[in-house]
Amino acid sequence: MTPIALAALAALVPDGALLALPPDNSLSPCEFARALVRRGARGLTLLGVPVSGYATDLLIGAGCVASVQTSAVTLGEAGLAPRFSAAVARGAVAVTDATCPAIHTALQAAEKGVPFMPLRGVLGSDLLAHRADWKVIDNPFAGGGDPILLVGALSPDVAAFHAVCADAHGNVYVGRRRELATIAHASRRVLVTVERLVDGNLLNDERLAPGTINGVYVEAVAIAPRGAWPVGLLDEYAYDAAHVAEYARLARSEDGFHQYLERYVLHGGAEAAA
């Protein structure tokens, strides 16, 4: 697989798509999100798998997002996600509440090619009142009196993440973040940014193969050095707490957010902070 330019990768996400993004601690494609902002993406529905962070808040602030399905949107130690909070307060973004297990269960159903999967943890919560698409039935194996929740399969239009490396066959190394394989299997299209390309075939290496997603699931790859910044990437580089704190401070206001866009997004991403 020949890598394509980052802008070309971002152009593969159509406006209005359901886009699955991993959280800040699991190979978040932050440079890809900045490329979507530069492209002027609109009307996206973001799926946080299972929670959302910097990339989601950035896309919301830039006007790229119509709705979000997630368990939470947060900047961690830097506090609440300011552009998400502001958008929800003024009704600019619709939110579908979920739980971490429910989102993973929905993706696992799509991965397995079944219409739904059962789940127990949500039973007894008020979340059920807000999710008419989830169904509660009696466990058919228990003879009655044993309710179980059914969560419908969820197949994102596009999944995106940033990984350490890929090979010429399109295989992508994600290390211990094996939940990304479930996202890839469940999604219709998978777009990946990587730090670098490597020689050979990752699946032929007994040490790397268990942490590698087969290239059959990957549509396109772009090289984006430090593409997860300002969040960390496995053993490659650490979470940039100072920068996320700067983002959180600036993004509290519309003017401050646009200053951030001018400084770090519209005229370069990770390179602008180097």
Are residues 141 and 242 located together in one domain of the fold? Answer: no
Using a pLDDT cut of 70, give the percent of the chain over it.
97
Q: Is residue 143 part of a domain?
A: yes
Are residues 38 and 126 located together in one domain of the fold? Answer: no
What pLDDT digit, counting tens, does each position of 85-97 carry? 999 999 999 999 9
What pLDDT digit, counting tens, does each position of 34-51 carry? 999 999 999 999 999 999
233 CB burial (10 A radius; 0-12, 13-18, 19+): buried
Asked if 172 and 213 touch (Cβ cutoff 8 Å), the reply is yes
Are residues 85 and 136 located together in one domain of the fold? Answer: no
Are residues 35 and 138 located together in one domain of the fold? Answer: no
Range of the domain at 230: 6-98+155-165+178-194+219-273
**What predicted TM-score, i.e. pTM, was given to this entire model?**
0.95
What pLDDT digit, counting tens, does each position of 214-232 carry? 999 999 999 999 999 999 9
Give me the long-range contacts of 174-181 (CB less than 8 A, separation at least 24): 174/27, 174/211, 174/212, 174/213, 175/211, 175/234, 176/211, 176/234, 177/22, 177/26, 177/27, 177/211, 177/234, 178/211, 179/22, 179/26, 179/49, 179/104, 180/22, 180/26, 180/27, 180/213, 181/213
Using a pLDDT cut of 90, give the percent of the chain over it.
95
Neighbours of 35 (CB within 10 A): 25
Number of structural domains (the chain) is 2
Q: Is residue 229 part of a domain?
A: yes
Are residues 123 and 182 located together in one domain of the fold? Answer: no
